[in-house]
Structure 1
C-alpha cells in the first residue's frame, strides 16, 4: 500500500513535524511511505529512513495541477496532510484518495480532530491529534534531526579551529528575518556581557543577521553568521551548554540538540510556537494566554535581562 504525507513548510514547523512523520512511518512499516515537501527541506527529511522524499514547487497554477496529477497517478490509499493549508487541502480534495487525514473538521478530510484549532495547544499537539484521529498512537514531543558523519566531522573541525571544547560555550541568536524585526529582543548585548564570564558565546544566524552579529561580536563572542546549515547547527547545539534565542528558526533547530533553549517571546504566541519540549524555558513578559482569542502581542523589550538570567539560574546553568 502506498501512503502519502504532506508537509511543505515552514522550517520551524518542519522540525516540529519530524517525530510525527516517524510515527506514521512506524505505523505503516510494511507500506511505501512518500512525503511531499518543498526543495529547501529535502535534506531534513532525507535523514529519515524508509521515507521517499518528493520535492515539489508549491507556487503557481501549473505546479498545482502537476502535483495533483502526480498524486492521482501514484494511487495512494491514504494521505496524512500535516500542512492543511489552502493548497494542501486542494491536493487532498482532488486526489482521488479515499482516506484523507488533516487538521480541519470538514471536507476534504475523512479523519480529523473533533474541534477547530484555536491555538489552545502547541502545533505539535495538534499534529498528534490528526494522527490519533487516524488510529495512530501519538508521537513523543522530541524533534528528530540526526547528523550525517560528514556533518559531525565538520563541526568537530570547526570547534577545533575556534579552540572550543564540549559544553564550554553557548549559542545565541539575536536576529530574525528582516520582515519581522519586532521579534528581536534588544538586550542581547547586555546579556552577553554577563554570560561571557561563564562561557564563550557563539552568535549564529543567516544573512539578515550579519550586521547585527557583527555589532554584537565587538563586545563579546564569535561571529558564526552563515557558517552552519540546519543539520550542522543542530550538531553544534549538541556540543554546547545551552542556547538563548528569539522566536526563530534557530530556536527550533536547536531544540533537536537536547539542550535547554531559552526562547524569548513578545509579539508571537508561545503556547502555539515554542520550541518543542522547551515550554519550561519560554520567556514571555506576561502570563501565557490559553488560546488565540486571549493572546495579545506584547513588546518584546518588556522582557528584562534579569528575567533571562533568572530563568537560566533556575536550571543551575550559571
Structure 2
C-alpha cells in the first residue's frame, strides 16, 4: 500500500468539483518545473501538518499530480490564457483563507492578486503578497532555503524540512519486475541521466559515455534513465554500454529504483532531484547553471563542477569538466 501524504493510505486524487471550500481552507500553488516541484514536496507536507485538520488543496500541473498520492489536487493546464482565467474563477469561488504561492512567478502572482484570498504567502516583498520574507530574492541562496524563509514568514516551522516522495509497494514491484526481465537483479548498478531541458542544451555533459565505460571496467553497469525525450540519447549510449531505461518508470518508480543502485550521476535536471529523494549519493554536473542555487537538496558535497570551490559563481562550459575529474571525485568519496 502507498503510504501517502501525512501517513494516509488512500489516494484521494482530484478534488470533487461540487465541494466548495470554506474560509478556513488552504490553497497551495506549485505548477512546475519538475525539479522545483520535487524540492517543494517537503514544504507542502509541512504546510499540511501546520494546518491540520483544515482542508488543503494543491494546484499543480497534470504531469506532477502523481508525486502527491493522497493529497487533494486541482490540476491546471498552463498552455492557455483561457485556462488561467478559468482557474482564477475557480479559486475565487472557493473562498480560501490562505494561499501559499510556492511558484511566485508572474502567472501565479496574477492568480493570487485576483484570488480574493485574504492571506497571501509568497516569495516577493511586494503585492500581491502580504506574508513574505523581508528581503528581496536575487539568487543569494539556494532555492529551497529561500522557500523555507517563505514558510517561516507565514509562521510555519521549517525544522528538518526536506524533499520527500512516497513510492508504493506497487512501484517497488514494477522495478523488481523490470530488473528481473533485464537480468540485472545481482548487478552493481549506477543510474545516469544524460538528458536535460531541450531549451538548455548547454546543461548536457558530453562525456557520459566515457564515464560509463570507465565504470564498466570496474564492474558497474549503467542504467540510462529518462523520459520519452531522452530515447534517442539513451539508445545511442546503451549501444556502447549499459541498459536503456527510457520511459520505463514513473517518477515514483524512478525513486524506487535507487534502492537497487549504488549511486547516480546526472546533469542539472529534474531527475537529479527525483533521485536525490532516494537512498543513494547523487552527483550533479554543473557548469552553465549556478550549483549554489540549484543542487539537489542534501547533495551539496556531491556537486561536480569546475567552480565547486570558488567563492563566487563563474559560468563554465560542461565540456571543460573531463570524465577523469568526475571519476576522481567518485574515488575520493569511496562510492567505487
**TM-score class, shorter:** over 0.9
Which residue is equivalent to 1:30?
53
Cα-to-partner distance string for 1:100-120 (whole Å, 9 max, x where unaligned): 110000111111011111111
1:317 aligns with 2:335: yes
Q: How does 1:85-100 map to 2 (within 5 A)?
A: 85-100=105-120
Counterpart check, 1:195 vs 2:244: no
CA distance in 1, matches of 2:326, 2:109: 41
1:162-173, aligned counterparts within 5 Å? 162-165=182-185, 168-173=188-193
| TM-score (norm. length: structure 1) | 0.93
Change (3 A) 1:175 1:65: closer
Q: Of 158, 161, 165, which residue of structure 1 is paired with 2:178?
A: 158
Query: Which residue of 259, 265, 268 corresponds with 1:247?
Result: 268
Q: Which runs of 4+ in 1 moved over 6 A?
A: none
1:176 and 1:208 in contact (8 A); partners too = no
Matched, 1:12 2:35: yes
Q: Normalising by the residue count of structure 2, what TM-score does the alignment of the two structures yield?
A: 0.88
RMSD: 1.6
Matched, 1:220 2:245: no
List runs of 5+ in structure 2 lacking aligned partners: 1-23
CA contact (8 A) 1:171 1:203 kept: yes
Distance 2:259 2:187 in 1: 8
Q: Unpaired segments of 5 or more residues in structure 1?
A: none
Displacement of 1:288 in angstroms is 5.5
The range that moved more, 304-313 or 164-173, is: 164-173
How many matched pairs? Answer: 312
2:187–2:221 contact (8 Å) kept in structure 1 = no
The answer to whether the 8 Å contact 1:167/1:241 transfers is no
User: Which deviations, in whole Å up to 9, do the C-alpha atoms of 1:76-126 show, x marking residues without a partner?
Assistant: 111110000111111111111111110000111111011111111111111
User: What SS does structure 1 have at the residue aligned with 2:83?
Assistant: helix
Give the match for residue 307 of structure 1. Answer: 325
Of stretches 174-183 and 72-81 in structure 1, the one that deviates more from structure 2 is 174-183
